[in-house]
Structure 1
């Protein structure tokens, strides 16, 4: 079965104590142990971006990050992006306003990648947007509305602390 490790990641601002196998991915910990199923699994090889979460503010593919690597670190999932009162974050709202989602499978990863970009570059160029989202695959929208959503979120001042 392998060794078990007690870890304490800070997930969506809340310290969580978990016991996990050394080989468990962060995605599996989030989904199966913590019940945060907004983190989607697609390819499970780090290629599609569906499982993107923020680890200490940086976008990572949670399917190829080990859960033990999150010990003591901050993890933000799509469940932690919205406002405490349940309202959508500015990035989430921009995705809705721009109709930047269809089936929704890639949306959590796209939103988190966009938020990380805006936190780093509040007024990104189209090239920077395309670069930041380039590792996230969407098979429905063709990316035009997704780029527009990021541009709208930038205009709305979506950067900064959440």
Structure 2
């Protein structure tokens, strides 16, 4: 069991650390070179952007939420893979206040799917009440995109 979990973690981390060329957001495949990975979900009015960099065993990066008629949230994430799920702390600024909340993204071949679930306050941050029971909706899939230069 431990070997399987470790192998899954290593494989997931390997996928995250791969740098890749942009052909189109839906057909981009990772390669073996190290570097940041960028993902985005866009709709007619909303954008979520995620940039990840592996600093083993931690994944760090930037996360931005820009929802129509809501305050823009922009900050950093730091977390680890748990099987095929990235659990991370998102530290962000909104309305002049720094906040920390837990975020979750399910790794799939096409990108990452954001997870949602009930939250509680613990030790000054917002965390998932039951991280093992999150809902992942494919309409919130972040697809690979070219990283800004």
TM-score class normalised by the smaller sequence:
under 0.3
Kindly indicate which of the two structures has a greater share of residues assigned to strand: 2
Kindly indicate which of the two structures has a greater share of residues assigned to helix: 1
Q: Which has the higher contact order (CA 8 A, sep 6+)?
A: 1
TM-score (norm 1): 0.25
TM-score (norm 2): 0.26
